[in-house]
Amino acid sequence: MIKSNFTLLGSRDYVHSTSIIEFIYLNRNNIIGKSNELAWLDIKFYKIITSNCLLEITTKPSDNINEDVLCEAIIRRNKSFFFVYFRSQPNNEELKKASVTYNVEEIDFFGQYSGDYMIKTDCYSSFIINIVESNKRVHLASNPNSEVKILNMFMKNVPLFFDLNSQWTKIKIQNIGFRGSINENISTLNKLNINGLKDISLGYKLIRN
């Protein structure tokens, strides 16, 4: 198993979804082995993570999915699949804090969780952080008169490689569907088109305060 070394972004007291994805990216050679083949990530967030985890890595789905699995990832590389389970571990280890800067500019807002944004993409970290932040902002813009808590529930088809040459990149966010009503919690599914990467999808949940 591999032990994570998460940090807490900004003033958060939990591990942000982008920190988990970035950890996978930085440790991809240890998780799936070194290769020149491109890899893609599907990830589900089951529970809020507040401490480091142990990563169980298998080439087949685990039969031992229980309450200690906080997050589950599937990495695809060519015809190979790797299943990664972030398991909780009892510890009192305090996570370090890390500053975070968002570089997101709205171009157009189309309503109903859709819009165009410019995001900074000078490295993989900013690429992932600003993708998630832009999707959060389109959700906030779609609920201007409501106090909501926004949870990232899953992401699919996330590249575990980085070859963008531009400092800033246009991202198009298109809502595929949502469930719920104005007085209820809402679940959404958005697809992102960024520099030819057309099939990145994000599932969010909005919880009414």
Q: For the domain with range 104-208, which CATH number is right: 3.40.50.1470, 3.90.1300.10, 3.10.129.10, 3.30.70.360?
A: 3.10.129.10
CA distance 81 to 58: 9
41: nearest Cα among 84, 76, 15: 76
pTM: 0.94
> Could you read off the pLDDT of 91-122 as tens digits, one per residue?
768 899 999 999 999 999 998 999 999 999 88
Positions of CATH 3.10.129.10 in the chain: 104-208
Are 89 and 61 contacting, i.e. CB atoms less than 8 angstroms apart? no
Q: Which helix (H) or strand (E) holds 29?
A: helix 28-32
CATH of domain 2-98: 3.10.129
Are 4 and 55 contacting, i.e. CB atoms less than 8 angstroms apart? yes
**pLDDT tens, position by position, for the chain (209 residues)?**
899 999 999 999 999 999 999 999 999 999 999 998 999 999 999 999 999 999 999 999 988 888 899 999 999 999 999 999 999 988 768 899 999 999 999 999 998 999 999 999 889 999 999 999 999 999 999 988 778 899 999 999 999 998 776 789 999 999 999 998 666 899 999 999 998 787 899 999 999 87
Q: Which residues contact 8 (CB under 8 A, 6 or more apart)?
A: 14, 15, 16, 19, 95, 96, 97, 98
Q: Which helix (H) or strand (E) holds 27?
A: none
Q: Which helix (H) or strand (E) holds 94?
A: none
Burial 141-179 (b: 16+ CB within 10 A, else e): ebeeeeebebebbbbbebbbeeebeeeebebbbbbeebe
94: nearest Cα among 18, 187, 182, 8: 8
